[in-house]
């Protein structure tokens, strides 16, 4: 096992959600899941609405990620996203209510636009619940 670490930041327009040194990162891009370890080759990916996992000294930390971009270069990783939350900070009751509202909107949607908006709201709620469940 190497002592090398990845400096990792998750940034939204409002704040830095996470910043620290991690052993590995796993996330889901629009073309599928990926993982990075120290010394990985540089790359970028567009992110899907889902979770990201950072392993820190053997402990897993989960974050809800609402799309965005991932960049890795020189053992530094950055996620730029519209919204993100640490799984430990998510109010599961609120996230469950958001999921139920999105499902209700989806079942009553009449236009393609309504369906698209409801699906996006449902994906956000599911990402938040998934991150919170893994705390």
Chain segment 39-70, per-residue pLDDT in tens: 999 999 999 999 999 999 999 999 999 999 99
Domain with CATH 1.20.5.440 in the chain: 90-133
| Confidence band of 2 (pLDDT split at 50, 70, 90) | low
**Measuring CA to CA, how many Å separate 114 from each of 100, 104, 122?**
16, 11, 12
pLDDT at residue 135 greater than cutoff 80: no
Flag whether pLDDT at 104 surpasses 70.
yes
Selected from 3.40.640.10, 3.10.180.10, 1.20.5.440, 3.30.450.20, the CATH number assigned to the domain covering 90-133 reads 1.20.5.440
Q: Report the C-alpha gap between 63 and 4 in whole angstroms.
A: 22
What percent of the chain stands above pLDDT 70? Answer: 98
CATH class, domain 6-87, is mainly beta
Span 65-80, pLDDT tens digits: 999 999 999 999 999 9
Residues 6+ apart with CB under 8 A from 17: 10, 11, 63, 84, 85, 86
Residues of the chain with CATH 2.60.15.10: 6-87
| pLDDT reported for residue 48 | 95
């Amino acid at each position: 096992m190497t002592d090398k670490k990845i400096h990792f930041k998750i940034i939204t327009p409002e704040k830095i959600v996470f910043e620290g040194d991690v052993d590995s990162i796993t996330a889901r891009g629009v073309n599928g899941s990926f993982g990075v370890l120290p010394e990985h080759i540089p790359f970028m990916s567009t992110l899907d609405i889902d979770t990201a996992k950072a392993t820190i000294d053997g402990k897993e930390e989960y974050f809800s990620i609402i799309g965005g971009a991932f960049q890795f270069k020189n053992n530094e990783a950055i996620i730029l996203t519209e919204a993100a939350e640490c799984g430990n900070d998510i109010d599961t009751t609120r996230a469950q209510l958001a999921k139920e509202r999105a499902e209700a909107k989806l079942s009553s949607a009449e236009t393609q636009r309504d369906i698209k908006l409801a699906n996006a709201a449902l994906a956000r709620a599911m990402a938040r619940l998934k991150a919170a469940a893994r705390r």
